[in-house]
Structure 1
Amino acid sequence: MKNISRLEIENIYGKISPFEFKNKLIELATLSNRKSTRTLLDAGRGNPNWIASTPREAFFTFGQFAITESRYTWDDGDLTGMPKKTGIYKRFCTYVENNKFMPGIDTLKAIIDYGIEELNFDKDEFLHELTDAIIGDNYPFPDRMLIHIEKIVKEYLKREMKYDVETGGEFNVFAVEGATAAMCYIFDSLIANNLLLKGDKIAIMTPVFTPYLEIPHLPRYEFEVV
């Protein structure tokens, strides 16, 4: 294997699609996994074969709080009201105190504390945004991302990407269905504004998630990729 040049490897694997290459790698990993006592964690799929259970427990526990809030506003059996903002943080603290053994309750409390203590969020504004969001009784506003959620995501991106606001400037976060949708929206926007034309040459930095390499070749774009 050491004597095989990069050009030879490209000639071999350049003839198959990125999907086929990815599937072959997973097949090899699965074969090896059968001979091992370890569980294969496959993060190379659109949906991994594992679940981060703790944040999901916190999510569903918070959903129960949101339902109690809707009943606090108005309770007519199957019909309840929309969560109210005034005093919601105090009611949340009471909920946490009365449900210490609910799944994910500690994680949920830590999330709320982070927003209030680290990002200086207004307690009732923050809790009401999250409660109203998980209930799903309104269209999200602003469209790109909820106000407090965007600030949290921005802090995460700054930390993980080592982003310096002083040199790079502030930015907004626009949430979409996923990375594939984001790429399509970007291409569509560039074409709609005549910054790109069908058949133009574009450059893609690799390595990148393999399905993304297929998007520029869709009939609506037909970009020449380098």
Structure 2
Amino acid sequence: METKDVLASGLTYEDEIRYMNLSPFEVTNILRKIAQDGCERLKAQGKDCRVLNAGRGNPNFLNIIGRKAFAKLMLFATELAANGQDLGWRPERRDIARKFKAYLAADRSKETFFLKEAIDYAEEEIGLDVDEFVFELVDAALGDFYPDPPRIYPNTGEIVRTYLDDILIADDKSKDKFDIFATEGATEAMVYSFKSLRRNHLLKADDRIATVTPIFAPYLEIPSLNDYDLVNIEIKQSEALEWQIPSEELKKLEDERIKVLYLVNPTNPTSVAISSNTIEKIAKLVRDQRQDLIILTDTVYATFVDNFYSLIDAIPENTLCIYSYSKYFGVTGWRLGVIMLNKDNVIDRLISELPNDVKEELNERYGIITPEPEKIKFIDRLEMDSRDVALAHTGGLSGPQQAIMCIFSLFNLIDKERVYKSLVTETLERRIKNLYASFPEDYSYLKGSNKTHYYALINIAILAKERYNEEFANYLTENFLALDFLIKLASEKAILCLPGAGFSGPEWTLRVSLANLDDQDYLIIGQAIIEVLDEYYDYYQGNE
């Protein structure tokens, strides 16, 4: 068996081969242990050391006003329920908005000013009954009842829909066109979507799906699980085209055996929004040739780019859209996601066209909910399936989660000048500049309003060529595994990055999260990458 060289200490080529078969997030656990051991060695030598984990996308920035507003809401809700006692009672709807405004009247804090604006916005701009809205918020914050209806609270649903329209839809044409299901983050939304598509016989074993790659690694792994056994057809973005999709790759969608197009947009790990031209090409292909194609898109990074254009806007009837608040508002621990589906959609039509024996099977499944199960929309089947139908009445996102989701939605709707967004994007811009500061001028990061800069996908082979020459770059890729570079980076520099190949990216790429470390840490990471690359060059020179 042909082997390759190993510069990473303490491992063999066979070890590296085994690790390459793991999910990149499992590789992180191995790299973390290697980095920790490396730090201990350095400390034993009297040197300072700390592990820099640039592998995880959990942001270290977070929205403060929304959290303070939720805390203020919770204090009002509990004081209203307690009425001076330890045993509380569910508040009454009547006159609750006036009571809340009175509670806020003497407070001059930013969060109180925001809450007053939020109540006015909900009443005047969205047209909600103010007492119904405030009562729903208070009751949700208390978490004293199951969510009702389970899919999403009515007033919260209107506000979340308005927020999604604002960030995903170009104009007001979408008003009342979309149904919403609040979920425990985008990942749970994706799991629910696959599960219900399978349960409703729209995806079966050996069916084909098309996945735009590179993509968030677990999304590559779900279709291949025994639960689904799907055949994955990759639609490969091109690094040479700044991670856009070449026309010849889009032609793969003409294959009528492909049931679902599956993508993250803006992308992870490449941090690029798919161009409006490509979105239009996909929409035209679907309208002209693939009217039955289901599009499943995760838009978690949409809020980081300007003038975002989504498939849910271009071809709403075919698109099942997932969104998460986690990254933009720094709420990964809260688990706040939604599924957005056009009321007139291809999934409902495909279910209605299923063979009679399959319809009878589905009617039996959902028949415990209603005497007319065939009329249940897919958006409601998603919620029912999330609790295996029998427990659908206890489904839905918890009240406190929906309350803070509502607050964050209102925060962004009121922030017309996008002050918060500017703070976030300026932070990410500083970090990517620091990361690339040690790199050659000819190897720079991608720029433009369609770049999120949430991650950087660094191509070590190209970096090697720009810093030295093409001969060395070829030697590096021919004689080493890319994972050897990552392990050496962890062992000697205590820095963790993820392998780009695990996202179905180019083999010699590594993903750096720009979200979860301090600004100055990225200067250290960029310099460390160069220092490790120099060690490979020294090895190359010694073996010429």
How high is the TM-score relative to the length of structure 1?
0.74
After superposition, the C-alpha distances for 1:118-151 in whole angstroms (9 at most, x for unaligned) are 1011110000000000001100111110111111
Tell whether the 8 Å contact from 1:190 to 1:196 is kept in structure 2 after alignment.
Answer: yes
Distance 1:171 1:120 in 2: 17
1:99 corresponding residue in structure 2: 107
2:59 corresponding residue in structure 1: 48
- Matched residue type, 1:131: V
After superposition, the C-alpha distances for 1:185-225 in whole angstroms (9 at most, x for unaligned) are 11111111111112321112345433322221222112211
Distance 2:151 2:172 in 1: 20
1:138 corresponding residue in structure 2: 145
2:180 corresponding residue in structure 1: 173
Tell whether the 8 Å contact from 1:116 to 1:123 is kept in structure 2 after alignment.
Answer: yes
Deviates more, 1:123-132 or 1:166-175: 166-175
SS at match of 1:172: strand
Tell whether the 8 Å contact from 2:224 to 2:230 is kept in structure 1 after alignment.
Answer: yes
Distance 1:157 1:187 in 2: 22
Closer, same or farther: CA 184–115 of 1 in aligned 2, 3 Å: same
1:84 corresponding residue in structure 2: 92
2:217 corresponding residue in structure 1: 210
Tell me how far 1:19 sits from its aligned partner.
Answer: 2.5
Tell whether the 8 Å contact from 1:144 to 1:174 is kept in structure 2 after alignment.
Answer: yes
SS at match of 1:198: coil
Deviates more, 1:163-172 or 1:135-144: 163-172
2:232 corresponding residue in structure 1: 225
Tell whether the 8 Å contact from 1:217 to 1:223 is kept in structure 2 after alignment.
Answer: yes
After superposition, the C-alpha distances for 1:14-62 in whole angstroms (9 at most, x for unaligned) are x776626996xxx9xxxxxxxxxxxx9x7962x3222222210111011
After superposition, the C-alpha distances for 1:38-89 in whole angstroms (9 at most, x for unaligned) are xx9x7962x32222222101110110011122134xx4x2101101100001
Distance 1:99 1:167 in 2: 37
Equivalence map 1:191-206=2 (5 Å): 191-206=198-213
Closer, same or farther: CA 18–129 of 1 in aligned 2, 3 Å: same
Closer, same or farther: CA 107–43 of 1 in aligned 2, 3 Å: farther
Distance 2:173 2:156 in 1: 22
1:59 corresponding residue in structure 2: 70
Structure number with the bigger relative contact order (C-alpha 8 A, sep ≥ 6) is: 2
SS at match of 2:105: helix
Establish whether residue 115 from structure 1 lines up as the match of residue 122 from structure 2: yes
Among 60, 71, 85, the residue aligned to 2:82: 71
Tell whether the 8 Å contact from 1:58 to 1:107 is kept in structure 2 after alignment.
Answer: yes
1:155 corresponding residue in structure 2: 162
Distance 1:125 1:91 in 2: 13
Q: Give me the identity figure in percent.
A: 37
Deviates more, 1:147-156 or 1:108-117: 108-117
Distance 1:43 1:53 in 2: 25
SS at match of 2:206: coil
SS at match of 1:120: coil
Tell me how far 1:169 sits from its aligned partner.
Answer: 7.2
Distance 1:214 1:84 in 2: 48
1:8 corresponding residue in structure 2: none
Report which of the two structures shows the higher radius of gyration computed on alpha carbons.
2
Distance 2:172 2:66 in 1: 29
Tell me how far 1:109 sits from its aligned partner.
Answer: 1.9
Distance 1:164 1:141 in 2: 30
Among 1, 24, 38, the residue aligned to 1:19: 24
- Matched residue type, 1:83: P
RMSD after superposition = 3.0
More strand by share: 2
2:136 corresponding residue in structure 1: 129
Closer, same or farther: CA 44–120 of 1 in aligned 2, 3 Å: farther
Closer, same or farther: CA 106–16 of 1 in aligned 2, 3 Å: farther
Closer, same or farther: CA 80–20 of 1 in aligned 2, 3 Å: closer
Unaligned runs of 5+ in 2: 1-19, 33-51, 234-544
Deviates more, 1:194-203 or 1:122-131: 194-203
- Matched residue type, 1:96: L
Tell whether the 8 Å contact from 1:18 to 1:211 is kept in structure 2 after alignment.
Answer: yes
2:345 corresponding residue in structure 1: none
SS at match of 1:203: strand
Unaligned runs of 5+ in 1: 1-14, 28-39
Tell me how far 1:117 sits from its aligned partner.
Answer: 1.5
- Matched residue type, 2:82: R
How high is the TM-score relative to the length of structure 2?
0.33
Deviates more, 1:50-59 or 1:122-131: 50-59
